[in-house]
Structure 1
Amino acid sequence: MRIGVLGSGGMAEALGGKWVAAGHEVVIGGRGRQRDLADRIGARAGTVDEARAFGDVLLTAVPADVALEVLGDATGKVVVDCTNSVAPGFVLDEPEQARRLARSGGDVVKAFNLCHVDVWRTPEPVFQGRPLGVPLCGDSPEALHVVARLVRDAGCAPVLAGGLDRAALLEAAAAFVIKLWVEDQDVRSLFPG
């Protein structure tokens, strides 16, 4: 699969690295650090425009407030939205971020937004013998299928969680859980299996 990663921070490194290791072609697009990052994970480096043009799948690995601008026209692309628009006080700054990104024309799937970047850096994200579940919200069955494959290639289990109208619930859950993590609460106890 051809993946354009828009951004060169922690999520770009963690997910891009997993996808390179799984055999995907990845271009890291950024404005500075992308060359070092691409060399570290075995990807190619380019500008944001080059990464966008290269990828059939685009990962928005940038701050939420600039994601739509960086994404640009994504018509015909699968867009993986891992952003969280969380403002001071751990409240949602931009409710329905995923729907906002759908203005790009791409088939947006909200995914990879519930865990801290360190979880994605884990070589095998398996907890209590079970692979980490990654909720996916999107309207396109084809895009959901593509992103489910990328979830499995990252060592996780895809969880189909509904259409893009449910992505706002994932975004709110992220704001809720991030505050608890920052307060050093054990969020795992909230969802015992």
Structure 2
Amino acid sequence: MRIGVIAGQGEIGGALAQWWTQAGHEVVASIGDAGATVQEAAVFGDAVLFAPEWGAAHDALDLAGGALAGKPVLDATEPPPSESGLEQLALWSPDAHWVKALNTLPVSVLDARRGRDPMLAEFLCTDFADARATASQLVRDLGLAPMFAGGADRAWITETGPLHMREVDIRDATAYLAAALDGTR
């Protein structure tokens, strides 16, 4: 698969680009001021990882232009505690097929757990079947276990809620998800 990566200076964009390349995907990355332009990465990808710093997210979408329309876009941003980043991104770029993914744990944990039993669960939230299928495959290609957590309205549980920064094995993922949803927003 062709993957475009739009990321800031954080570690996640570079690490995922490297791991997907190792898994056999073609990757074009715009990371910080290095690599391709945001628009080049957006145009290139059949799927796009979107991981800029939150304060630069709107500008990055402007730079992508309409290149995200109809594509699965994996949102790995870290929004402020008071808002749902996925829902805000969907308002700013409504034609993209947004899926919240790969935002719950730091690179060090992902790297230590990739491909190891018990597999690490990676929670996904989306309203788009194609985005869910694509993100699930890309998560599996990283050696992690995708776990569907619901639609965009549930993204808060991984962004700032009870599943954020929680290392969960796939065997326990259903119980952790149920407990997260029992709480109130």
TM-score (norm 1): 0.76
- TM superposition shift of 1:113: 1.1
Q: Does the CA-based 8 Å contact 2:13-2:31 persist in structure 1?
A: no
Q: Does the CA-based 8 Å contact 1:79-1:106 persist in structure 2?
A: yes
Q: Does the CA-based 8 Å contact 2:157-2:164 persist in structure 1?
A: no
Residues 1:145 and 1:166: Cα distance change in structure 2 (over 3 Å): same
Q: SS of the counterpart of 1:173?
A: coil
Q: In the alignment, residue 81 of structure 1 is paired with which amino acid?
A: D
Q: Does the CA-based 8 Å contact 2:4-2:49 persist in structure 1?
A: yes
Q: SS of the counterpart of 2:102?
A: coil
Q: SS of the counterpart of 1:161?
A: strand
Q: Which residue of 1 aligns with 2:4?
A: 4
TM-score (norm 2): 0.79
Q: Are 1:141 and 2:129 matched, yes or no?
A: yes
Residues 1:53 and 1:168: Cα distance change in structure 2 (over 3 Å): same
Q: SS of the counterpart of 1:6?
A: strand
Q: Which residue of 2 aligns with 1:55?
A: 45
Q: Does the CA-based 8 Å contact 1:52-1:71 persist in structure 2?
A: no
Identity in percent: 36
Q: Which residue of 2 aligns with 1:76?
A: 70
The within-5 A match list for 1:1-193 is 1-7=1-7, 9-32=10-33, 34=34, 45-72=35-62, 73=66, 74-86=68-80, 92-93=81-82, 95-103=83-91, 104=93, 105-122=95-112, 124=114, 126=116, 129-173=117-161, 177-178=164-165, 193=172
Q: Does the CA-based 8 Å contact 1:7-1:60 persist in structure 2?
A: yes
Residues 1:114 and 1:123: Cα distance change in structure 2 (over 3 Å): closer
Q: Does the CA-based 8 Å contact 1:77-1:106 persist in structure 2?
A: yes
Q: In 2, Cα distance between the equivalents of 1:23 and 1:112?
A: 19
Ranges in structure 2 where 5+ consecutive residues have no aligned partner: 173-185
